[in-house]
């Protein structure tokens, strides 16, 4: 089962390595791992995607919480969250027309970021399933190169509960 874990860590030398080493030490395969700065100075957010069962993931979350550099660990798998990924995909233009590639790009709300007489590079962002769909559509045209960023994810904000206005009964 796919698991998405968000980890806030202190942004200093070795912090990223300790987290990655912990996963490999436990025998977990990382499907993707991304890290970047947050709105807080010297704090980074890691988004980790892995496969595992509930009890195993609980152990990993507890282990992550014990690491010196860890500030906060959130298992997003069980919460309402938003995931996004970026893909740059270079496609062979020898086997297709420019109009076909523009149509694919428009359908998936992507951008053309590079073009020459041999290839076109598309930038696609969205949920991982969308990126997988684009890749499947572009495969027959001939994907020359591809780079995927890995997932970034945040828990959705909570809605304010609006109280019903109560009217006096007649």
Higher pLDDT, 122 or 16: 122
Same domain membership, residue 87 and residue 139 = yes
Residues 6+ apart with CB under 8 A from 8: 38, 43, 44, 45, 46, 70, 71, 72, 73
Asked if residue 123 belongs to a domain, the reply is yes
Residues 6+ apart with CB under 8 A from 115: 93, 98, 121
Q: CA angle 25-28-32, nearest 5°?
A: 115
Domain that holds residue 122: 82-154
Same domain membership, residue 150 and residue 99 = yes
Same domain membership, residue 57 and residue 122 = no
Beta-strand relationship, 70-75 and 81-92: unpaired
Q: Residues 5-40: pLDDT tens digits?
A: 999 999 888 888 888 888 777 777 788 899 999 998
Same domain membership, residue 137 and residue 93 = yes
Same domain membership, residue 103 and residue 66 = no
Q: Tokens for 88? A: 């740059």
Q: Residues 138-168: pLDDT tens digits?
A: 999 999 999 999 999 999 887 666 666 565 6
Run of H or E including 39: none
Q: What share of the chain is helix, strand, coil (3-state, %, to 5)?
A: 30, 40, 30
DSSP letter, residue 102: H
- pTM exceeds 0.85 for this model: no
Percent of the chain scoring above 70 in pLDDT: 92
Number of domains in the chain: 2
Same domain membership, residue 73 and residue 92 = no
| Residues 83-91, mean pLDDT to the nearest whole number | 96
Q: Which of 25, 49, 79 is the last residue of a domain?
A: 79
Q: What is the pLDDT of residue 22?
A: 83
Q: Which of 39, 56, 79 is the last residue of a domain?
A: 79
Q: CATH number of the domain at 17, please.
A: 3.30.70.260
């Amino acid at each position: 089962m796919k698991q998405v874990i968000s980890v806030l860590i202190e942004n200093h030398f070795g912090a990223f390595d300790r987290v990655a080493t912990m996963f490999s030490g436990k025998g977990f395969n990382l499907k993707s791992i991304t890290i970047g700065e947050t709105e807080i100075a010297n704090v980074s957010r890691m988004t980790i995607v892995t496969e595992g069962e509930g009890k195993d993931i609980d152990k990993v979350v507890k282990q992550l919480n014990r690491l010196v550099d860890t500030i906060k660990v959130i298992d997003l798998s069980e919460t309402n969250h938003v995931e996004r990924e970026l893909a740059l995909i270079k496609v062979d233009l020898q086997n297709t027309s420019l109009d076909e590639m523009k149509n694919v790009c428009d359908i998936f709300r992507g951008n053309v970021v590079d073009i020459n007489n041999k290839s076109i590079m598309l930038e696609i962002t969205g949920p991982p399933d969308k990126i997988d769909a684009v890749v499947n559509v572009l495969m027959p045209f001939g994907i020359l190169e591809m780079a995927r960023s890995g997932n970034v994810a945040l828990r959705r904000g909570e809605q304010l509960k609006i109280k019903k206005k109560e009217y006096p009964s007649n």
